[in-house]
Amino acid sequence: MKEGWEAVIGLEVHAQLRTESKIFCGCSTAFGDEPNANTCPVCLGLPGALPVLNRRVVEYAAQAALALGLRINTESIFSRKNYFYPDLPKGYQISQYDRPFSEHGAVEAPTTERDEAGHPQEWRLKHFGITRAHIEEDAGKSVHDIGDPGKSYVNLNRSGTPLLEIVSEPDFRSSWEAYDYVGFLRRTLQYIGVCDGNMEEGSLRCDANVSVRRTGAEKFGTKAEIKNLNSLRFLQRAIDYEIDRQIALIEAGGEVVQETRLWNEREAKTYSMRSKEDAHDYRYFPEPDLPPLEVAAEWVETVRAGLPELPEARRRRFIGEYGLSVDDAFTLTGQRELADYYEAVVKASGNSRAAANWVLSELLRELKSGGIDITGSKVRAEHLGALIKLIEDSTISGKIAKDVFADMVATGKAPEEIVREKGLVQITDLGAIEKIVAEVIAANPKQLEAYRAGKTALLGFFVGQVMKASGGKANPQAVNEILKAHLEAEGR
């Protein structure tokens, strides 16, 4: 940030609730189906069709609201937000306005600045206020880039998909804080299973409100809103661009105008889309076809009691219980399935450090190169735990274990099975190792002479030869000891 300036950012996140059917009708919410296949009179906005609220939507919204520390209103009201758009056949969106589903929340999210190369600095927890989270329906989609270039198309499959709009306080002071907060929201919603968090498919979309002010100034500057950012990286870059644009504008004697802007990733710039509308422009009024939404306090408590452990709590527990570093705990709790997997490996191996090392290095590397996540891995957690045990009880060496692991990745077999089939059991029989050592020394008289003349670095050479002769199976520690004894003792 330029010296003497401070940025103020507020975020509006639209999270698609992953119900199987839409919010006010029974149509499917599946992504990628034949255009306009999943529609009916309600989500097409035909006259006389009546909306009926999907109970699941309320359950998911409640889980999300509680996970974000929001208070749920016992009564909330659906309102019509009126505007024209080709993908909005009713001419209004059913949303919530003056009495939203939930209000007054906050999260403690881990955040950090990044250096030039994008590496995280020191993580700290920061408090971010959440103004409200309300329930609304999504619009359809206008499609401009298919078929006849002179034509636009409308796909109404998405029309009526349930959304939770989560509006934050203007509490962010940098693009990375915004980035970390949205990442936090995404993890939290994925953990509790109410949103798949897929930003590319539009399941999580973000609008960023950005303003700047001189350091020390109390009053907020005029904000511009950047719409529909569909990746965390775009969000971060768009905010940085916008901050710089506003500062340069003001320093050149200009003024920021309140407007809606769009991010163009290819040009790495924001562009003005339209001047900002105000709430009253939308002529909000209560939806006459839906009664107020009432939720009982006891029901809210039942939902609260049913929430799983949230990612932040789990991360702190991993640090305390398993002795993990902040960064390792972060990675391992980034996805609920990965955290579950790690805990299963800990249970099977009884060694939390070794489990973390194997999951974080070997396993994640394999997943990355295979382009899959943990749910697609052939290596079962119990098998990885068993592999760690085989190393610890000296059945196999750490080196052989890597080969066994590669086999597990390819075949999904249990490590004991692979070890048995390939005869990989480590040689710990000292007599057998003595024999190989004697053979290797006898076969390398020149090196033996050099070693005894003081070139002790040749020990490595002998170790290598013995390991090779044993097919990598000799216990390395025993090899070292026996070799040293033989090389030094004999012939003196």
Nearer to ligand ADP, 204 or 338 (CB): 204
Shortest distance, position 204 Cβ to Zn ion, whole Å: 23
Q: Which of the listed partners (ligand ADP, Zn ion, none) does 206 bind, with a CB threshold of 5 to 8 Å by partner kind?
A: none
Q: How far is the CB of 353 from ligand ADP (least distance, A)?
A: 42
Residue 416 interacts, among ligand ADP, Zn ion, none and using kind-specific CB cut-offs from 5 to 8 Å, with none
Establish how many alpha carbons lie within 13 A of residue 4's alpha carbon, considering only the half-sphere containing its beta carbon. 4
User: How, if at all, do strands 285-286 and 78-82 pair?
Assistant: antiparallel
172 three-class SS: strand
Cα 492 to Cα 235: distance, rounded to the nearest angstrom: 73
Check: CB of residue 129 under 8 Å from CB of residue 103: no
Sign of CA dihedral 52, 57, 59, 62: negative
Q: Under the rule (CB under 6 A), what is the footprint of ligand ADP?
A: 8-12, 167-170, 209-211, 220, 223, 279
Residue nearest to ligand ADP (CB): 10
- Phi, then psi, of 242 in degrees rounded to 5: -65, -40
Is the four-CA dihedral 330, 7, 261, 95 of positive or negative sign?
positive
- Among ligand ADP, Zn ion, none, residue 256 binds (CB under 5-8 Å by kind): none
Which residue among 8, 11, 43, 167 contacts Zn ion (CB under 5 A)? 43
Per CB under 5 A, which of residues 9..38 are in contact with Zn ion? Answer: 25, 27
Q: Give the span between the Cα atoms of 257 and 269, in whole angstroms.
A: 17
Instruction: Answer yes or no whether residue 356 interacts with Zn ion by CB under 5 A.
Output: no
Question: Which H or E element spans position 82?
Answer: strand 78-82
CB of 209 to ligand ADP, least distance (A): 3
25 binds, among ligand ADP, Zn ion, none (CB under 5 to 8 A by kind): Zn ion
* Distance between CA atoms of residues 384 and 399, nearest Å: 15
CB of 158 to ligand ADP, least distance (A): 23
Q: Binding of Zn ion at residue 94 (CB under 5 A)?
A: no
> Shortest Cβ distance from residue 98 to ligand ADP (Å)?
12
Tokens 């992953």 — which residue?
18
Ramachandran angles phi, psi of 269, nearest 5°: -140, 155
Piece in contact with Zn ion (CB under 5 A), picked from 41-49, 105-113, 370-378, 464-472: 41-49
- In the complex with Zn ion, the residue whose CB is nearer, 43 or 354, is 43
Which stretches of the chain bind Zn ion, using CB under 5 A?
Answer: 25, 27, 40, 42-43
